[in-house]
A = this chain, B = another copy of it.
Amino acid sequence: MIGRTTRSEEEVLEAIERRRRRPHVKLMDERITLSHGAGGRSSHVLIETVFARAFDNPALAELGDAAVVDAGGAPLAISTDTYVVRPLDFPGGDIGSLAVHGTINDLAVSGARPCFLALGVVLEEGLPVSDLQRYVASMAQAAAGAGVAIVTGDTKVVERGKADGLYVSTTGIGVREGHRLSPMAIRPGDRVLCSGTIGDHGMAIMVARGGLELEADLRSDSAPLHELAGALRAAAGENLRCMSDPTRGGVATVLNELAMSAEVAIVLDEASIPVRPAVAGACEILGIDPLYVANEGKLLAVVAPEAEAEALAALRGHPLGTDAAVVGEVRAEPPGMVVLETSFGGSRVVDMLAGDPLPRIC
Contact = CB atoms under 8 A, between A and B. Distances in A.
Contact of A128 (B31, B34, B38, B132): B31
Interface in A331-362: 359-360
A139 interface: yes
Contacts of A271: none
A71 B153 contact: no
Nearest to A119: B80
Contact of A122 (B84, B128, B175): B84
Given A120-B169, A164-B158, A152 B31 contact: no
A169 B82 contact: yes
Contacts of A130: 30
A129 B50 contact: yes
Q: Which of A83, A120, A157, A360 has the most CB of B within 10 A?
A: A157
Interface in A242-299: none
Nearest to A169: B169
Contact of A154 (B80, B133, B159, B164): B80
A150 B78 CA distance: 11
A128 B36 CA distance: 12
A174 to B, nearest CB: 8
State the copy count for this chain: 2
A156 interface: yes
Contacts of A51: 119, 136, 153, 155
Residues of A in contact with B, size category = 35 or more
Contact of A27 (B55, B80, B129, B155): B129
B155 A37 contact: yes
B75 A72 contact: yes
A130 to B, nearest CB: 8
Contacts of A149: 55, 57, 59-60, 69
Interface of A: 27, 29-38, 43, 46-47, 50-51, 54-55, 57, 59-60, 66-67, 69, 71-76, 78-84, 115-116, 118-130, 132-133, 136-137, 139-140, 143, 149-159, 161-164, 167, 169, 171, 173-176, 359-360
14 contacts: A32-B129, A32-B157, A33-B157, A37-B156, A37-B157, A51-B153, A60-B150, A66-B152, A72-B176, A73-B74, A80-B118, A82-B122, A82-B154, A158-B360
Given A36-B123, A55-B139, A158-B164, 11 more contacts: A31-B129, A50-B133, A50-B136, A55-B119, A55-B140, A55-B150, A60-B151, A72-B76, A84-B158, A122-B122, A171-B171
Q: For the complex of A and B, list the 5 residue pairs with the smallest distance between their C-beta atoms, beginning with the closest.
A: A37-B157, A72-B74, A74-B74, A67-B151, A171-B171
